[in-house]
């Protein structure tokens, strides 16, 4: 199936025209290119999760358990009893429509059911129709409808067209968070054995092998070796990996993202972390079992998310470290910031994080003992502990993409910008309405970064890409910097489609490239072997002029 050309993809999008029929009367038409495939039964069974056979989304009849209606109703009620958020958000929406054009999927598809308000109505209407006397009495007039098999198909289709990015919740006058609703919707589907292959296989991998991509310990090490060899070839600096893997008694445990040691261009960010550790001679180690900070479980159910991340603290305990440092990732940081401490606390077997280099005590992380590497590095730079030469990044003009969850579930805005201003000379911002808390999703988060739904991804990523195109044309931006591993995995595809000529990297790749090492040798290339604008003169080539 081929994707239309960029100029043609959005021709069917009209943000002002709505269908003739009422949305309740439109039967879900599940289009290829929009949805992901269904998970294999054995993946679910290995994890003990419900599964009702092997089937396809395109099948007319989905293999629902006989009492599926009772299950759905029971699960809705249970979640309303468990989560005030869900109960309240189902009750108080006034359908003011402020959220409507805030969703990147609505902007890229024009499908009214992608307006966050209608996404929520998909469940709200069932609650009214099945549980409320008012709803039963007035039906469609009051926004109520009956639960049918088509509703299940519709839920599947639209709850997997939401990346839980929370942009709508910024604009909602009551703070209604569609992520909460999507989470509940997916949880209920999970109960019926409905899950996507792309969101569940990584869970299986992470659970049994330690990371989403299923890299076993020996390959984990090999991948890192490959990176450090490359680095040695470029700079002549040798990084000894042994102490960074499964060493007991280190001060810090670092948790990387599998996307960053699996594929280009994330690998350069991973290299960036290692180079920084080496530069500082940091007493840090990684667990090959807890080699995944991200959490695809979160895209299936909160319970699976917790089952996956138990290992982060278990491993910190086993390796007898003092505190935990986490890599640049998006949803990971929502989970680490908003759930970890509740799930696994009190974390009394670790110490309050303190930078061994600057002595800074990370008071804001004193309870769950987890520090973001961006915070750690920003602190280093603020204390002048890194010798940086920003001109080594003069070959790039960068812009910064606020990844959804670090922005809207953490608020890490200034730290990465502070670092960027110190490691490169050309940093420009995208338009104000598309950054910080108003940032746009890459369109592929929350388990949607598959191949079979590429059309949806390109549509959903369009608002972000459009803002990148703006700075690309205006300022010549040629590199998008982000702090999310999914971003690094999906942006190359997105930008190649919408804005060719813009590459993607993490912050720490730029940090490492700007680091000035004692006794380093000359080099003419950056960490990914692109020519530098100003070649680095090392000890092998004594400086004569004023170059630098």
Partner 1 sequence: MNALVSFIIFGILVAIPWFGVRVLGWESLFGIVIPYVCFLVFVIGLIYRIIDWAKSPVPYKIPTTCGQQKSLSWIKRSLRDRLENPFTTWEVVLRMFFEVVFFRSLFRNLRADLQGKRLIYGSAKWLWLGAILFHWSFFIILLRHIRLFTNPVPEIIQGLDYLDSFIQSFGVPPIYITDILILAGLTFLLLRRLIDSKVSYLSYGSDFFPLFLLLGIGITGVLMRYYFKVDLYAVKQLTLGLATFHPTIPEGAKIGTIFYIHLFLVSTLAAYFPFSKLVHMVGVFFSVTRNMPNNNRAVRYVNPWEYPVKHYTYYEYQERFKDKMIEAGIPIDEEVQPEEEHEWYSLYIVGSKLPPKIKS
Site for partner 1 in 95-114 (CB under 8 A): 95-98, 100-102, 107, 112
Contact by Cβ (8 Å): 105, 161: yes
Contact between 202 and partner 1 by CB under 8 A: the answer reads: no
Q: Tokens for 72?
A: 């759905």
Nearest 5°: phi and psi at 324? -120, 140
Helix (H), strand (E) counts: the chain: 23, 10
From CA 180, how far away is CA 187, in angstroms rounded?
Answer: 11
Nearer to partner 1 (CB atom), residue 483 or residue 536:
483
- Per CB under 8 A, contacts with partner 1 among 262-291 are 287-289
Encoded one letter per residue, x for contact with partner 1 by CB under 8 A and - for no contact, window 418-447 reads x------------x-xx--xx---------
Residue range at the interface with partner 1 (CB under 8 A); choices 146-154, 238-246, 420-428, 477-485: 238-246
SS3 letters for 467-502?
A: HHHHHHHHHCCCEEEECCHHHHHHHHHHHHHHCCCC
Of 201, 278, 311, 488, the residue at the interface with partner 1 (CB under 8 A) is: 311
Q: List the structure tokens of 492.
A: 């190359």
Q: How far is CA 455 from CA 13, 90, 97, 239, in A?
A: 13, 30, 26, 41
Nearest-angstrom CA–CA distance, 425 and 439: 23
Of 348 and 518, CB closest to partner 1: 348
Which residues from 213-232 bind partner 1, rule CB under 8 A? 216-218, 221-222
The residue among 271 and 407 lying less far from partner 1, judged by its C-beta, is: 407
Residue partners of 33: CB distance under 8 A and separation at least 6: 1, 3, 452, 453, 454, 455, 456
Distance separating alpha carbons of residues 305 and 100, to the nearest angstrom: 29
Taking CB under 8 A as the criterion, the residue among 130, 292, 415, 526 binding partner 1 is 415
Interface residues for partner 1 in 123-152 (CB under 8 A)?
134, 138, 140-143
Nearer Cβ to partner 1 (173/500) = 173
* Least distance in angstroms from the C-beta of 308 to partner 1: 8
- 59, 240, 359, 364: which one binds partner 1 (CB under 8 A): 364
Is-cis flag, bond preceding 346, omega within 30? Answer: yes
Out of 342, 359, 384, 543, name the contact with partner 1 by CB under 8 A: 342
Residue 128 CA from chain centroid, whole number: 33
Nearer residue to partner 1 within complex by CB, 99 or 396 = 99
Window 29 to 68, contacts with partner 1 (CB under 8 A): 47-50
Site for partner 1 in 155-174 (CB under 8 A): 166, 169-174
Partners of residue 525 on adjacent β-strands:
531
């Amino acid at each position: 199936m081929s994707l239309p050309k960029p100029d043609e993809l959005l021709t069917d999008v009209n943000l002002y025209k709505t269908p003739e029929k009422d949305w309740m009367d439109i039967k879900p038409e599940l289009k290829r290119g929009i949805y992901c495939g269904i998970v294999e039964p054995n993946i679910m069974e290995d994890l003990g999760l419900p599964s009702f056979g092997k089937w396809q989304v395109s099948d007319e009849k989905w293999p629902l358990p006989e009492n599926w209606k009772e299950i759905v109703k029971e699960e809705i009620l249970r979640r309303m009893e468990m989560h005030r958020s869900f109960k309240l958000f189902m009750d108080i929406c006034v359908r003011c429509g402020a959220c409507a054009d805030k969703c990147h999927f609505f902007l890229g598809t024009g499908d009214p059911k992608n307006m966050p308000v209608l996404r929520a109505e998909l469940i709200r209407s069932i609650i009214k129709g099945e549980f409320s006397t008012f709803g039963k009495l007035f039906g469609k007039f009051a926004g109520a409808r009956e639960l049918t098999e088509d509703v299940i198909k519709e839920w599947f289709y639209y709850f997997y067209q939401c990346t839980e990015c929370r942009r709508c919740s910024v604009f909602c006058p009551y703070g209604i968070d569609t992520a909460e609703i999507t989470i509940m919707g997916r949880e209920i589907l999970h109960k019926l054995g409905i899950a996507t292959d792309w969101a569940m296989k990584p869970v299986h991998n992470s659970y049994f092998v330690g990371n989403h991509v299923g890299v076993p310990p020996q390959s984990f090490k090999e991948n890192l070796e490959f990176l450090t060899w490359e680095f040695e070839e470029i700079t002549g600096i040798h990084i000894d990996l042994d102490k960074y893997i499964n060493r007991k008694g280190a001060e810090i445990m670092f948790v990387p993202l599998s996307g960053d040691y699996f594929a280009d261009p994330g690998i350069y960010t991973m290299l960036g972390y290692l180079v920084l550790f080496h530069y500082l001679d940091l007493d840090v180690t990684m667990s090959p079992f807890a080699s995944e900070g991200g959490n695809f479980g979160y895209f299936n159910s909160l319970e699976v998310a917790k089952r996956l991340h138990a290992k982060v603290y278990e491993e910190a305990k086993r390796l007898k470290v003092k505190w935990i440092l986490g890599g640049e990732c998006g949803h990971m940081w929502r989970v680490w910031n908003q759930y970890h401490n509740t799930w696994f606390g009190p974390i009394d077997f670790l110490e309050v994080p303190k930078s061994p280099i600057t002595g800074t005590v990370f008071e804001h992380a004193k309870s769950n003992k987890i520090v973001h590497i961006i915070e750690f590095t920003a602190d280093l730079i603020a204390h002048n502990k890194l010798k940086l030469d920003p001109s080594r990044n003069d070959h790039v003009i960068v812009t910064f993409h606020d990844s959804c969850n670090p922005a809207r579930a953490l608020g890490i805005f200034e730290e990465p910008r502070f670092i960027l201003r110190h490691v490169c000379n050309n940093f420009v911002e995208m338009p104000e309405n598309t950054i910080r808390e108003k940032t746009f999703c890459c369109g592929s988060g929350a388990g949607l970064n598959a191949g079979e739904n590429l059309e949806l991804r390109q549509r959903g990523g369009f608002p972000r890409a459009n803002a990148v195109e703006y700075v690309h044309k205006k300022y010549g931006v040629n590199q998008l910097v982000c702090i999310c591993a999914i971003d690094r995995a999906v942006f190359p595809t997105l930008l190649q489609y919408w804005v060719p000529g813009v590459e993607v990297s993490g912050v720490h790749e730029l940090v490492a490239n700007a680091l000035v090492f004692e006794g380093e040798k000359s080099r003419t290339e950056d960490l990914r072997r692109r020519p530098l604008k100003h070649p680095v003169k090392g000890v092998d080539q004594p400086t004569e002029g004023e170059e630098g």
